[in-house]
Amino acid sequence: MSTVNYTNPNQDRTVTIFDEFYTFKLEVDANLYDVVNSYFKSVFADENAAKNFTLSLFRISENSGIPAITLLDEVKGQNTIQLTATFAYYLNNIRSNSTLLGLRATVTPNFYAARNVLV
């Protein structure tokens, strides 16, 4: 579960995004975070889904080097199913091949590699 640590606006105008499960931590501008999060809140009825997609967008931005606002412009106008497919594509480039998202068919391993796996 991702969380957001809001800082004191009088001292610092950044938001620290961190995900304890993946040990991911990133500091972003609070205004940019609000823009991205408000867009996902307008798309998703569930606030948790909006926060998770916001975290994912910043994570994709950090790993790909594409600015977050450019990624947001790319996904604007998509419905929830299209957003899920787009994010699965980007997140699969970050994740291990053994934990891919959004696959309908089971990945069949190589015969020789599969027989070495102990069950």
Q: Which pLDDT score is estimated for 76?
A: 92
What would the pLDDT profile of 6-57 be if each residue is shown by its tens digit?
A: 555 565 566 777 666 666 777 888 889 999 999 999 999 899 989 989 988 9
Asked if residue 66 belongs to a domain, the reply is yes
60 and 52 Cβ atoms separated by less than 8 Å: no
Could you identify the residue written with the tokens 């931590």? 25
The C-alpha torsion from 76 through 80 and 86 to 91, rounded to 10°, is 120
State the residue range of the domain holding 89. Answer: 2-114
Asked if residue 54 belongs to a domain, the reply is yes
% of the chain residues with pLDDT over 90: 19
Query: Could you tell me where the beta strands, DSSP code E, fall in the chain?
Result: 2-6, 14-19, 24-29
pLDDT band with cut points at 50, 70 and 90 for residue 112 = low
CA distance 67 to 47: 24
- Mean model confidence pLDDT for the chain: 77
Asked if residue 39 belongs to a domain, the reply is yes
- The number of folded domains in the chain is 1
Asked if residue 119 belongs to a domain, the reply is no
Contacts 24+ apart (CB under 8 A), 39-44: 39/72, 39/76, 43/79, 43/80, 43/83, 44/80
Asked if residue 43 belongs to a domain, the reply is yes
